Amino acid sequence: MKKKYSLKNSSKGMMLVLSTCLTLTSFAQDKGPEMADTMRSNGKIYVVVAVCLTLLIGLFLYMIRVERMVRKLEKEK
């Protein structure tokens, strides 16, 4: 059974995990604020980093493409 990880799904899933963790603060009085330690310990935090890096690299590839187009047009003139 394949799970589809689109950006929307994974950020929704992350929010679900985070809000679940937030509700748990009422049970654990002395653990302090709930952080994403679970995400860090099971390595899923790297999924978050990878998704964001993909977005960033995609944006920069587009920027480089536009830059090259502008440079070409400038040379022609």
Partner 1 sequence: MRKNWWKILSFVLLVYTIVGGFLMEVPRLYILNETIRNLYFHVCMWFSMMILFIASFVYSIKYLNTTKYIHDIYAKNFAAIGTLFGALGYATGAIWANYTWVTDQSQSLGSILKEPKLIGAAIAILIYGAYFVLRGSFTDMDKRARVSAVYNIFAFAMLFPSIWIIPRMVGSLHPGAPGSDSGNPALNFKDVDSNLRMVFYPAIIGWTLLGVWIASLKIRIALMRDKEIL
- Alpha-carbon distances, residue 69 vs 5, 13, 19, 46, 59 (angstroms): 34, 39, 45, 34, 15
Query: Least distance in Å: CB of 46 to partner 1?
Result: 8
H-helix or E-strand spanning residue 41: helix 37-41
Q: Which residues from 2-61 bind partner 1, rule CB under 8 A?
A: 15, 18-19, 21-22, 25, 32-36, 45, 48-49, 52-53, 56, 60
> Is-contact 22 34, C-beta < 8 A?
yes
The residue ranges that bind partner 1 (CB under 8 A) are: 15, 18-19, 21-22, 25, 32-36, 45, 48-49, 52-53, 56, 60, 63, 66-67, 70, 73-74, 77
